[in-house]
Amino acid sequence: MIDEIEEIVFDEIAIADTVRELGERISRDYEGKELVLICILKGAAIFTTDLARSISSPATLEFIQASSYGLTTSSSGNVIIKKDTETDLQDKHVLLVDTIIDTGKTMECLFKLLSARRPASLNVVVLLDKSCKRQVEVPIAYKGYDLPDKFVVGYGLDYGEHYRNLPYIAALKADG
């Protein structure tokens, strides 16, 4: 399967540095506040874990699972909530964590769902912003990188449930 990798887009060191910088910014912005990190499964599990460890403020961890891809390289546009949060979010500062935003439809759906639960604040942190594919604008408070129009895997991102365990982010070959 490694033969299907075209190039490494972001290596382990670059990712670690960016995650640390994001964590430092979030720590400053949420100092003294009750922060809930909501990991969007499955793709953001690794990013969320690393990010949580880089945040010095107290934070709790929650999980939500939404899907719009299935086994393809493009979003279907239909967002399905497979697992919902368990914590009462009212009056808490909520930070939705995802590894990548492209069309914005999944994040828009989650933002609406969680806004209705009346958090004190609701923001988004994303490692990769593929704005060239954006169909719906979503507010991104913290982002690591702008991503060109490439289908990437690794660091939690998959293609057909493969490649999530790669420690870097890589583009697949077009015929991969």
* pLDDT value of residue 68: 66
Question: Looking at 50, 98, 102, 129, which residue is catalytic?
Answer: 102
Domain count, the chain: 1
* pLDDT value of residue 3: 78
Nearest to 40 by CA among 146, 91, 111, 89: 111
* pLDDT value of residue 74: 53
* pLDDT value of residue 175: 65
**Number of helices followed by number of strands (H, E) in the chain:** 3, 9
Provide the 3-class DSSP secondary structure of residue 65: strand
Please tell me the distance from the alpha carbon of residue 101 to that of residue 45, in angstroms, as a whole number. 15
Q: What is the residue range of 61's domain?
A: 2-172
* pLDDT value of residue 4: 86
> Quick check: is 175 catalytic?
no
The domain spanning residue 51 has which CATH number? Answer: 3.40.50.2020
| Strand 35-41 versus strand 93-101 pairing type | parallel
- Block mean pLDDT (10 aa), the chain, length 176: 85 98 98 95 96 95 81 59 90 97 91 94 97 92 95 94 95 78
Write down the pTM of the prediction.
0.90
